[in-house]
Structure 1
Amino acid sequence: MRLRPARKSDAASLAALSIEVWISTYLRHGVSAFFAEFALSEFTTARFEALLEEGKDLLIVSENRDGIDGYIRLAEGRPAPIDGLSDLEIVTFYVQPRHHGKGIGSALLQVAIDHCRNKGRTEIWLTTNSENAPAIDFYLSKGFRQVGVTDFHIANQAYPNHVLALNLPPQG
């Protein structure tokens, strides 16, 4: 495993990985046109190229000998859905399911935590689907706490998401 900042040349790999993880995580009973259209329009090479070109967010990838197997995206200036949280969000955090349990998620999360500390920040937050028990368990094991619930919207449908926050203890 090698961690590094994402490059524009990673855009297609990031899009493909995102589609794989999103579909395998959330579409357990088949792929409907509704969800397929969302995934194919949301996770595109062009969107990742634009995001990387803009350069505002921290996007770190995990790379093995064959390619990218995970990434984390951290953004500042993101209003939290719950009052009293910071504006620092883990927007996306995906690891290919076949690579779970290898320390990739822990390593990516540590990079994000270190980045926040280096910026003098004391808290980060994220949302995850309320039915995604493996992700929730992972976050809770890393010290996150559930601070609320919000909805993730696709077209006119809403899906409950846990809002989780992590206080960053000082380095020491």
Structure 2
Amino acid sequence: MPDFKDVVIREARAEDLEALVAIFASDDKGGHGDTTDPEAFSDYREAFEAIAASANDTLYVAESDGGIVGTFQTTYSRSLPGRGGANLILEAVQTHPDYRGKGIGKTMVQAAIDEAHIRGCRLIQLMSNAQRTDAHRFYERMGFRQSHLGFKMKLK
């Protein structure tokens, strides 16, 4: 088993896509309909290419011992409220099911916090599925506080 103190956070590459899809497809609470079905792979590839081309979006992987053990995405944005301050949105934080509870999530979230500091953001925000009570406790331990109520409308 790898030493999880040696987790490397780096930008995702096209060759990581299959491992990332497998992590998302293993999520039993997300309800996103992710699948490893080869017919769906072009959808993931198209999304990956759009994220990679964006100046404001970054998809990361957590790598250990040559394997992908987690992933997260950040989106940098500015808005007029808060005196035009910059925000970093953290989303799609996922650890491979075989490696949960080993500090990988903490390493990934800390990397996102560090990115927010480097970019001069006034805040970092995230949404978490209401069913993920363990994740909520984790985020609170990392310094996040629940401050808003989120809403979604599925269009597809």
TM-score of the superposed pair, with normalisation by structure 2: 0.75
State the partner residue of 1:88. 88
Decide whether the 8 Å contact of 2:86 with 2:120 is kept in 1: no
Q: 2: distance between equivalents of 1:44 and 1:15?
A: 8
The amino acid of 1:95's aligned partner reads T
User: Partner residue of 2:108?
Assistant: 108
Output the CA distance in 2 between the equivalents of 1:86 and 1:128.
21
Partner of 2:3: none
What aligned pairs does 1:8-157 form with structure 2 within 5 A after superposition?
A: 8-21=14-27, 24-26=28-30, 36=33, 39-40=34-35, 44-65=44-65, 67-77=67-77, 87-155=87-155
Correspondence for 1:169: none
Stretch of structure 1 that moved more, 6-15 or 127-136: 6-15
Q: Is the 8 A contact 1:11 1:49 kept in 2?
A: no
Contact 1:12 1:45 in 2 (8 A): no
Report SS of the residue matched to 2:77: coil
Kindly state the Cα deviation for residue 26 of structure 1 after the two structures are TM-superposed.
Answer: 3.7
Asked if structure 1 preserves the Cα contact closer than 8 Å seen for 2:87 and 2:116, the reply is no
Supply the distance in 2 between the matched residues of 1:64 and 1:55 (Cα, whole angstroms): 27
Contact conserved, 1:95 with 1:105, CA < 8 A, in 2? Answer: yes
Partner of 2:9: 3
SS in 2 for 1:148: coil
**How far has the Cα of 1:152 moved from its partner?**
2.8
What's the CA shift string for 1:55-107, capped at 9, x where partnerless?
Answer: 5312221112352111111101277xxx7695321122111232111110111
CA pair 122-87 structure 1, distance change in 2 beyond 3 A:
closer
Please tell me whether the aligned partners of residues 11 and 60 of structure 2 are also in contact (alpha carbons under 8 angstroms): yes
Amino acid at match of 2:91: V
Larger proportion of strand? 1
Deviates more, 1:62-71 or 1:124-133: 62-71
- Distance in 2, Cα, partners of 1:152 & 1:96: 26
User: Within 2, Cα distance between the matches of 1:16 and 1:50?
Assistant: 20
- Gaps of at least 5 residues in structure 2 are 1-6
Identity %: 28
The answer to whether the Cα contact below 8 Å between 2:59 and 2:74 also exists between their aligned partners in 1 is yes
